Chain A
Amino acid sequence: MADLRNDFVGIKSPNPFWLASAPPTDKEYNVRRAFEAGWGGVVWKTLGEDGAPVVNVNGPRYGVVYGADRRVLGLNNIELITDRPLEVNLREIKAVKRDYPDRALVVSLMVPCTEEAWKAILARVEETGADGVELNFGCPHGMSERGMGSAVGQVPEYIEMVTRWCKANTRMPVIVKLTPNITDIRLASRAAHKGGADAVSLINTVNSITAVDLDLMCPEPTIDGKGTHGGYCGPAVKPIALNMVAEIARDPQTRGLPISGIGGVTTWKDAAEFMALGAGNVQVCTAVMTYGFRIVQEMISGLGDWMDRKGFSTLSDFTGMAVPNVTDWQYLNLNYVTKAQIDQAACIKCGRCYAACEDTSHQAIEMTPDRQFVVKDEECVACNLCVDVCPVEGCITMRRLAPGEVDPRTGKPVPAEYGNWTTHPNNPGSCAAE
């Protein structure tokens, strides 16, 4: 069995599966049960500065987006940082870390934008024996109205400044958690890097309204007839998160900056994808809020099984392996020519491929009176939409044309060599390159 042990910025854990800072990690009771279930680490729910704790709404905190069969695809929340006294949290963190020395215990923090405030809380956290801190620059609701959370994460200069304060005031590794509610994630990660961050973690939740109650004419979750935007997470946000992780991983200015991947991780496969794109480990929340702590067992067995089959013995064997294959559009090979082909034996004759192609694409599928669906190679641009909408896995596949084979659509033979937009004759800029 593959070795799943993880070393993330010097913080060791028996596997790369951490629980993200969120309701599941708000107190000792939960965290102990999470460790018993097998989680490799947790990021304790965000602590605020000493004094009267924040308060939460007393109505619903969550909104949901369902798939078929009430499957939770996305969850949004309007919960704030921990509403329990700082003292209590610190005492519990210390007790848990003492009893689980082999697990990662990182503490998420969010205090006002002054060096004194950060300095004060870092000292208190250090006393607990926690392994590191995560700076919450991502929370998009409530706290951001008070100049914290994503209000910091949306201003690169603030990110850099606070990160620098923290690095100057603690020996613990500092992980900076980034908000996706920006235009270019690289600006935020570069700022964290400049400030001396040991790592970044992303994504935090996405600004969202999950639904509108059409009787009350109010966003959900609804609090006494009003609603506010919340932070969206779960499987629905994974594609956004994967892209942002990849953007940072391949950015020359932050090359090598460790990344903790967050956003819709639900299965071992999601975790493997984040790690292939450069994440050193992953953090999970919505999946445990849906199914409970026990899902980590599937993540452990599934990742191990996959690594065994692939011949990977440690996590570093595949971490970042997909990063070199993330490129800009302009470098994609335009001489890679494929055509859809429909396996008539597998086809169940639903006609979805035909509707998609005929109505919305390139009219490249022919439908016969007896409901046979055949691709017209002379029209097919290989867009893949028919593959995507076909309900039968493997029924429609893309066949690559061999070099020299004539593409019936263009009437030209497929070139053997790689060729991209930068050198394409239609590119007005390509002459300059010559």
Chain B
Amino acid sequence: MANTPLTPGVVSGRLGSEAYRDNFADKAPPLTAHEAAIAADRCYFCHEAPCVTACPTTIDIPLFIREIATGAPRAAARTIFDQNILGGMCARVCPTEQLCEEACVREVAEGKPVEIGRLQRYATDTLMGEGGHPYTRAAPTGKRIAVVGAGPAGLACAHRLAMKGHEVALFDARPKAGGLNEYGIAAYKTVDGYAQAEVDWLMGIGGITAHNGKALGRDISLDGLKGEYDAVFLAIGLGGVNALRAEGEEKSHVQDAVDFIAELRQAEDLSTIAVGRNVVVIGGGMTAVDAAVQSKLLGAENVTIVYRRGRDAMSASEEEQHLASSKGVRIVTGAAPLRILGEGAVEAVEFAYTRETEAGLELTDETFKIRADQVFKAIGQQLEGAPEGLELSGRKIAVTGPGRTSLPGIWAGGDCAAGGDDLTVTAVAEGRDAAEDIHATLMGEG
């Protein structure tokens, strides 16, 4: 007998096949040519535009929008890719309402910014849809560079290095390249296998050899890479997950949200993914929202996000919070988990309300329970397996300037490097800038 949202426990197949398809369809469908023309027409072509300043990759936004407006979307895509080779994914996943669109003068004037993200997708989809690759490589330099981690930072770095004429070996611990684009973003933001299609398109420049399933510290070592390559770029991301430090964390059906999202992204058939009737997600970032919303879309009856601080402290953007609310996810703020309750498997979570004090966040005596047959931990990731000898800053790899680590010949960028804000677009900028610095350093030596 088929399951429904009311079936107790953690089960798969709560919905009919049509519901899965509808629920996981494109979150923001692409603009038509007519819509793009109207959206582009609203851009004022500002001088030293605030949107460009707000973009971590400094895309010339007024220029690409003008190129769309004048019927040259391919030229617009080139303008985007010149700065951000993953401009297609960023158009889908960037929190534009906190970056370019927040800075748009029409947001200030009218509360309605130019739809920069959707226009960027229009341009990049147009060019990528034509096949082929728009960049060519410089003459071979004879230099070989290892890039460790094929997420946004690693891909951006590898592409820029290949363009400069270097040979790049791109390693990744997972079976597929793409990093969080492939394993860590909600499915409805990147439909139709876009992450892999983008990787394939990016690799179209040539000169990049992918070595998937090769983990640093397991299959390859930094010392080994240093010996074999002229430079190394580390973009290994944050492999570890922060612990909840609540009693009963070991009970079954208490999982890391990132694992759930990865499993979901790799699933051929969403009806095989098991989800609880009552789901509790602990955390306040994009990962928490992605896990909560997708639980709901898989047919969970009740999904609650619980975050220990106030709403304005959540790192998930306001739009993400709205999205969660609109899908029926309840967001409880100002409460932290005390213990996970249940015999073997989780049955409920007990929370205490919190209070902000000068000394920090304190638990109050007031507690409450939420029924749960599945709990997702989404309270942040941490660097795991950083090679010996690298200086750290806090819990990440210390870098100066464009990703230089404490060791000569070793650069780092993306989430594993200190600084930045753990956004895809920031990782792209760091990868690109490190590539420029590696190039300058290697060629300066020659």
User: A interface vs B, CB < 8 Å?
Assistant: 69, 267-269, 291-292, 294-295, 297-298, 301-302, 304-306, 309, 392-393
Given A392-B34, A393-B34, answer yes or no on A298-B72 (Cβ-Cβ < 8 Å). yes
Residue of A nearest to B45 (CB): A291
The answer to whether B34 and A302 touch across the interface, beta carbons within 8 angstroms, is no
- Across the interface, which residues of A come within 8 angstroms of B78, CB to CB? 301
B66 located at the interface, meaning its Cβ lies under 8 Å from any Cβ of chain A in the complex: yes
- Across the interface, which residues of B come within 8 angstroms of A291, CB to CB? 45
- Across the interface, which residues of A come within 8 angstroms of B63, CB to CB? 294, 297-298
5 A-B Cβ contacts within 8 A?
A301-B75, A301-B78, A302-B71, A392-B34, A393-B33
Residue of A nearest to B75 (CB): A301
Q: Mark B63-92, 1 if CB is under 8 A from A, else 0.
A: 100110111101100110000000000000
The answer to whether A298 and B47 touch across the interface, beta carbons within 8 angstroms, is no
B226: shortest Cβ distance to chain A, in Å? 39
Query: CA of A306 to CA of B76 in the docked complex: distance in angstroms?
Result: 12
Given A69-B42, A291-B45, answer yes or no on A301-B71 (Cβ-Cβ < 8 Å). no
Q: Which of A69, A295, A302 contacts B72 (CB 8 A)?
A: A302
The answer to whether B75 and A304 touch across the interface, beta carbons within 8 angstroms, is yes
A122: shortest Cβ distance to chain B, in Å? 38
Q: Which of B41, B47, B60, B70 contacts A267 (CB 8 A)?
A: B70
- Across the interface, which residues of A come within 8 angstroms of B67, CB to CB? 298, 301-302
Query: CA of A29 to CA of B390 in the docked complex: distance in angstroms?
Result: 50
Interface hub of A295, A305, A393 (most chain B Cβ within 10 A): A305
Query: CA of A292 to CA of B48 in the docked complex: distance in angstroms?
Result: 11
- Across the interface, which residues of B come within 8 angstroms of A269, CB to CB? 70-71
- Across the interface, which residues of B come within 8 angstroms of A267, CB to CB? 66, 69-70
Q: Which of B30-44 contact A (CB under 8 A)?
A: 33-34, 41-42
- Across the interface, which residues of A come within 8 angstroms of B79, CB to CB? 301
The answer to whether A295 and B45 touch across the interface, beta carbons within 8 angstroms, is yes
Query: CA of A227 to CA of B41 in the docked complex: distance in angstroms?
Result: 33
- Across the interface, which residues of A come within 8 angstroms of B62, CB to CB? 294
The answer to whether A305 and B72 touch across the interface, beta carbons within 8 angstroms, is yes
Query: CA of A307 to CA of B33 in the docked complex: distance in angstroms?
Result: 21
B119: shortest Cβ distance to chain A, in Å? 14
- Across the interface, which residues of B come within 8 angstroms of A69, CB to CB? 41-42
Given A69-B42, A297-B63, A305-B75, answer yes or no on A268-B70 (Cβ-Cβ < 8 Å). yes
The answer to whether B75 and A302 touch across the interface, beta carbons within 8 angstroms, is yes
The answer to whether B45 and A306 touch across the interface, beta carbons within 8 angstroms, is no
Interface residues on B, range: 10 to 19
B87: shortest Cβ distance to chain A, in Å? 15
Q: Which of B328-380 contact A (CB under 8 A)?
A: none
The answer to whether B74 and A295 touch across the interface, beta carbons within 8 angstroms, is no
Query: CA of A297 to CA of B63 in the docked complex: distance in angstroms?
Result: 8
B286: shortest Cβ distance to chain A, in Å? 34
Residue of B nearest to A267 (CB): B70
Query: CA of A374 to CA of B131 in the docked complex: distance in angstroms?
Result: 40
- Across the interface, which residues of A come within 8 angstroms of B72, CB to CB? 268, 298, 301-302, 305-306
Query: CA of A304 to CA of B134 in the docked complex: distance in angstroms?
Result: 14
Query: CA of A306 to CA of B74 in the docked complex: distance in angstroms?
Result: 9
Query: CA of A158 to CA of B148 in the docked complex: distance in angstroms?
Result: 75
- Across the interface, which residues of A come within 8 angstroms of B70, CB to CB? 267-269, 298, 302
- Across the interface, which residues of B come within 8 angstroms of A305, CB to CB? 72, 74-75
Ranked 9 nearest A-B pairs via Cβ:
A301-B75, A302-B72, A267-B70, A305-B75, A298-B66, A291-B45, A305-B72, A305-B74, A302-B70
Query: CA of A250 to CA of B45 in the docked complex: distance in angstroms?
Result: 37
Query: CA of A302 to CA of B72 in the docked complex: distance in angstroms?
Result: 5
Q: Given A268-B72, A295-B66, A302-B72, 13 other A-B contacts at CB below 8 A? A: A69-B41, A69-B42, A267-B66, A267-B69, A292-B45, A292-B47, A294-B63, A297-B63, A298-B75, A301-B67, A301-B79, A305-B74, A309-B74
- Across the interface, which residues of B come within 8 angstroms of A268, CB to CB? 70, 72
- Across the interface, which residues of A come within 8 angstroms of B42, CB to CB? 69
Residue of A nearest to B127 (CB): A305
Query: CA of A295 to CA of B47 in the docked complex: distance in angstroms?
Result: 11
Query: CA of A392 to CA of B72 in the docked complex: distance in angstroms?
Result: 20
Residue of A nearest to B67 (CB): A298
A352: shortest Cβ distance to chain B, in Å? 16
Query: CA of A268 to CA of B45 in the docked complex: distance in angstroms?
Result: 16
- Across the interface, which residues of A come within 8 angstroms of B47, CB to CB? 292
B136: shortest Cβ distance to chain A, in Å? 11
- Across the interface, which residues of B come within 8 angstroms of A304, CB to CB? 75
Q: Which of B172-187 contact A (CB under 8 A)?
A: none
Query: CA of A304 to CA of B71 in the docked complex: distance in angstroms?
Result: 12
- Across the interface, which residues of A come within 8 angstroms of B60, CB to CB? 297
Residue of B nearest to A270 (CB): B70
- Across the interface, which residues of B come within 8 angstroms of A297, CB to CB? 60, 63
A226: shortest Cβ distance to chain B, in Å? 33
Query: CA of A298 to CA of B42 in the docked complex: distance in angstroms?
Result: 17
A360: shortest Cβ distance to chain B, in Å? 26
B7: shortest Cβ distance to chain A, in Å? 42
Residue of A nearest to B65 (CB): A298
- Across the interface, which residues of A come within 8 angstroms of B66, CB to CB? 267, 295, 298
- Across the interface, which residues of B come within 8 angstroms of A302, CB to CB? 67, 70-72, 75
Query: CA of A69 to CA of B79 in the docked complex: distance in angstroms?
Result: 26
A72: shortest Cβ distance to chain B, in Å? 11
Q: Which of B79-138 contact A (CB under 8 A)?
A: 79
- Across the interface, which residues of B come within 8 angstroms of A295, CB to CB? 45, 66
- Across the interface, which residues of B come within 8 angstroms of A294, CB to CB? 45, 62-63
A300: shortest Cβ distance to chain B, in Å? 9
Residue of B nearest to A71 (CB): B41
Query: CA of A291 to CA of B65 in the docked complex: distance in angstroms?
Result: 13
Query: CA of A392 to CA of B78 in the docked complex: distance in angstroms?
Result: 29
A312: shortest Cβ distance to chain B, in Å? 15
Interface hub of B45, B74, B75, B78 (most chain A Cβ within 10 A): B75
B26: shortest Cβ distance to chain A, in Å? 22
